[in-house]
């Protein structure tokens, strides 16, 4: 009689230790080892590691609405569901041969994955990971995002089309928008889910769509944006996800140039440029929009510059260490976490004083994802 009770008590004691609120947690991708560090923002600490996620190069992830589960999109086509409370893999499917990115529906019931091989989008039940829709495109798909109304938007590299998949009926109802431009390589949606913007390899502009229109029409923006691209080698394509609202403008890493572009958030015209230390990879606005933090392509990827939004001037520059790959702000912006890959560290900074508050050991850290993302659209 006694032993089962003791065993139960021990099990339950373990569970007690897991009685953790999930609002200030996060996951850090450890690319080389196919693992995720579980981190606590308030304690500035790692609190666990989840292993067995396969190839995590260029991996990203999204969170369930309750901030308990993460869905991890691996480059190898793996879709892995992890539980950050129990710190375990709770589901995994190899859903394609080569994939890039994913999204979760506004109601948290559907997870979509964007695939290169075979080209298309596959949509899965968020509970079971059973496939509920298969949308072949005969094209690599890029720029997959969620928008309100149980919809996903994505773009076809080969065909230059953007598709909207409406899942409200349970089956995918597709709206095709042609003539987005030649070879769209990435896309983003604004935080309100209204404006979808694609970057193009084959044209000297970007293309915007107003998703509030019944029939969104492609609209070229920033013509000449890539002029002078020959001037400097493009070591790393800028991530369009880096677009972020800073005051009344978006900030955009310029392609092949040592500068960031400022774009009016309302009419999407260029409003200014700021010279930077290197070719920007991410230009990320602090959540309040007052600062923009920029990291750079190899070989200048040991440096961060901070730009003030009011003056568009660089107000701070420092070298966290070799291989600064990613940045993530705390939800209200008082601190920022940096992945410094070749130092094997995640570093936490105060965004007001620029003081380093903590170093956390990590194995080749890359993407950092805080659970507050669960409540935002289009990430």
115's tokens: 């695939």
Of 148-177, binders to a copy of itself (CB under 8 A) are 148-150, 168
Q: Among 51, 52, 57, 66, which residue interacts with a copy of itself (rule: CB under 8 A)?
A: 66
- Rounded distance between C-alpha atoms, residue 286 and residue 167, angstroms: 33
Closer to a copy of itself by CB, 191 or 314: give it: 191
- Length in residues, the chain: 379
Cα-only R_g, the chain:
21
Min CB(379)–a copy of itself separation in Å: 11
The phi, psi pair for 75, rounded to 5°, reads -65, -25
Q: Among 12, 224, 230, 231, which residue interacts with a copy of itself (rule: CB under 8 A)?
A: 12
Nearest alpha carbon to residue 182 among 217, 155, 163: 155
Closer to a copy of itself by CB, 296 or 370: give it: 370
Q: Specify the DSSP class assigned to residue 240.
A: G
Closer to a copy of itself by CB, 13 or 231: give it: 13
Closer to a copy of itself by CB, 277 or 354: give it: 354
Half-sphere exposure of 261 (CA within 13 A, CB side): 23
Place of tokens 């006694």: 2
The phi, psi pair for 367, rounded to 5°, reads -65, 140
Of 324-363, binders to a copy of itself (CB under 8 A) are 330-335, 352
DSSP SS3 for 284? strand
Q: Among 50, 56, 85, 346, which residue interacts with a copy of itself (rule: CB under 8 A)?
A: 85
Min CB(218)–a copy of itself separation in Å: 19
Give the x/- contact pattern for a copy of itself in 215-244, rule: CB under 8 A: ------------------------------
- Rounded distance between C-alpha atoms, residue 181 and residue 165, angstroms: 20
Q: Is 372 in the site for a copy of itself (CB under 8 A)?
A: yes
Nearest alpha carbon to residue 294 among 314, 323, 271, 322: 314
Min CB(197)–a copy of itself separation in Å: 17
Q: Is 193 in the site for a copy of itself (CB under 8 A)?
A: yes
Half-sphere exposure of 337 (CA within 13 A, CB side): 31
Q: Which stretch binds a copy of itself (CB under 8 A): 45-53, 276-284, 288-296, 340-348?
A: 288-296
Min CB(224)–a copy of itself separation in Å: 26
- Rounded distance between C-alpha atoms, residue 219 and residue 211, angstroms: 12
DSSP SS3 for 210? strand
Q: Among 204, 288, 359, 363, which residue interacts with a copy of itself (rule: CB under 8 A)?
A: 288
Q: Among 5, 230, 231, 355, which residue interacts with a copy of itself (rule: CB under 8 A)?
A: 5
Bridge pairing between strands 119-125 and 78-83: unpaired
- Rounded distance between C-alpha atoms, residue 76 and residue 59, angstroms: 9
Q: Is 26 in the site for a copy of itself (CB under 8 A)?
A: no
Min CB(150)–a copy of itself separation in Å: 7
Assess whether the previous peptide bond of 118 is cis (omega < 30° from 0).
Answer: yes
The contact set with a copy of itself (CB under 8 A) reads: 1-2, 5-6, 8-9, 11-13, 15-16, 18-19, 21-24, 41-42, 63-68, 85, 106-108, 148-150, 168, 192-194, 212, 247-248, 266, 286-290, 310, 330-335, 352, 371-372, 374-377
């Amino acid at each position: 009689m006694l032993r089962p009770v003791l065993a139960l008590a021990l099990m339950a004691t373990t569970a007690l230790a897991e009685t953790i609120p999930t609002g200030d947690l996060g996951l850090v991708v450890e690319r080389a080892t196919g693992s995720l560090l579980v981190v606590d923002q308030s304690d500035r600490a790692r609190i666990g590691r989840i292993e067995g996620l396969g190839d995590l190069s260029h991996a990203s992830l999204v969170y369930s609405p309750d901030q308990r589960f993460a869905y991890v999109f691996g480059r190898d086509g793996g879709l892995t569901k992890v539980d950050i409370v129990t710190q375990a893999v709770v589901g995994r499917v190899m859903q394609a041969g080569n994939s890039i990115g994913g999204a979760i529906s506004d109601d948290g019931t559907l997870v979509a994955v964007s695939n290169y091989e075979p080209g298309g989008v596959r949509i899965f039940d968020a509970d079971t990971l059973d496939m509920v829709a298969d949308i072949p495109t005969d094209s690599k798909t890029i720029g997959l995002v969620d928008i309100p109304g149980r919809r996903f938007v994505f773009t076809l590299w080969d065909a230059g089309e953007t598709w909207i998949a409406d899942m409200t009926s349970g089956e995918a109802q597709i709206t095709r928008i042609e003539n987005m431009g030649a070879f769209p390589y990435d896309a983003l949606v604004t935080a309100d889910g209204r404006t979808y913007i694609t970057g193009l390899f084959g044209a000297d502009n970007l293309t915007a769509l107003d998703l509030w229109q019944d029939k969104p029409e492609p609209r070229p923006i920033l013509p000449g944006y890539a002029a002078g691209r020959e001037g400097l080698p493009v070591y790393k394509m800028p991530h369009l996800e880096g677009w972020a609202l800073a005051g009344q403008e978006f900030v955009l890493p310029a392609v092949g140039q040592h500068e960031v572009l400022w774009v009016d958030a309302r009419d999407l015209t260029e409003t200014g440029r700021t010279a930077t230390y290197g070719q920007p990879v991410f230009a990320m606005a602090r959540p309040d929009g007052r600062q923009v933090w920029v990291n750079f392509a190899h070989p200048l990827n040991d440096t961060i510059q901070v730009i003030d939004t009011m003056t568009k001037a660089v107000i701070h520059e420092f070298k966290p260490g070799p291989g600064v790959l990613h940045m993530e702000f705390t939800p209200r912006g008082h601190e920022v976490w940096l992945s410094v890959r070749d130092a094997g560290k995640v570093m936490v900074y105060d965004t007001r004083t620029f003081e380093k508050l903590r170093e956390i050991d990590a194995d080749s850290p890359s993407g950092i994802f805080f659970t507050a993302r669960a409540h935002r659209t289009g990430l």
